[in-house]
Copies of this chain bind each other. A is one copy, B any other.
Amino acid sequence: MPVIYYQGEPGAFSERAARILFGSSITAKPEASFQRVFQQVARHPSARGVVPIENSLFGSVHENYDHLLRHSLQIVGEVKLRVRHHLMAMPGVRLRDIRSVYSHPQALGQCGIFLKSLKRVETIAYYDTAGAAKMIAQQQPSDAAAIASARAAQVYGLRILRRYIESNRHNYTRFLVIARTAKPSRGKKKTSIMFSVPNIAGALFKTLAIFALRDVNLLKIESRPLVGKPWEYLFYLDVEGSPVDRKLGHALTHLRELCGDVRVLGSYTQGKTVEG
């Protein structure tokens, strides 16, 4: 089995996504940053990385699109994970004892309503959710808790004081699997593409016509203004099918006639939505 790299500590949502995708017997290696994950995968031909690419509340993680481009890696899979947060502490510690709560900044933000309901509690930003749980397990404070996944509570032997404390229930993160090269695989495929379009009236429409006229279905479209180039846009496109399919293959050839810098980020089996 290949080594799977992810950002965070054991028990992080990215690790959970990796285990859903590759099974529980894999070797999953934590890294300190997304950049390190991409670097490791770029170095090791058999390695895989699992990284978040978009969240239903916070939008696309543009940083990881940038890393994909820079390292010329391929997307080879995906999964959508429902993000659920829990408050956890050392066994024996009660909710009313808690004076500080540690977690990843985004998780603290996502549990804002719950945290506001606690009196005299300070929130402290931590490297990641599972890292906060790990710290609690190591330092064993009697007045501090972490916000993390149920898996983190299990990994670090913490007790869950309050379950499902996220403010918005519709919180899903889409994770991508990245690799140096893609192997052909079966199943219903989707293909992720990036390209830029000069902002002349109808330019984007023409590029979309390329797909529509061939009945290639769009699954995601997003424009991103290019910083420093106010009238040029970068586009993310997810379409149904694979470049080896005749119609998508022709569409990509046609797209390259219009746009100079078309990048096929990968073609992979459409992922399922899984409870976190």
**Interfacial residues, chain A to chain B (CB-CB below 8 A):** 33, 54, 56-63, 104-106, 108-109, 112, 122-126, 168, 170, 172, 199, 201-202, 204-206, 208-209, 211-212, 215-225, 227-228, 230, 273
Q: Name A's interface SS.
A: mixed
The CA of A204 and the CA of B215, in the complex, are separated in Å by: 12
* Chain A to chain B: the 10 pairs with minimum beta-carbon distance, closest first: A105-B105, A59-B59, A205-B212, A125-B125, A170-B227, A59-B60, A201-B217, A222-B222, A202-B212, A123-B125
How far is the CB of A222 from the nearest CB of chain B, in Å?
5
How far is the CB of A160 from the nearest CB of chain B, in Å?
21
Q: A104 — which chain B residues lie within 8 A by C-beta? A: 105
Beyond A59-B62, A170-B227, A204-B221, 17 extra complex contacts between A and B, CB < 8 Å: A54-B59, A56-B224, A57-B62, A58-B59, A58-B62, A104-B105, A123-B126, A124-B125, A170-B228, A172-B227, A201-B215, A204-B208, A205-B209, A206-B212, A221-B221, A222-B222, A230-B273
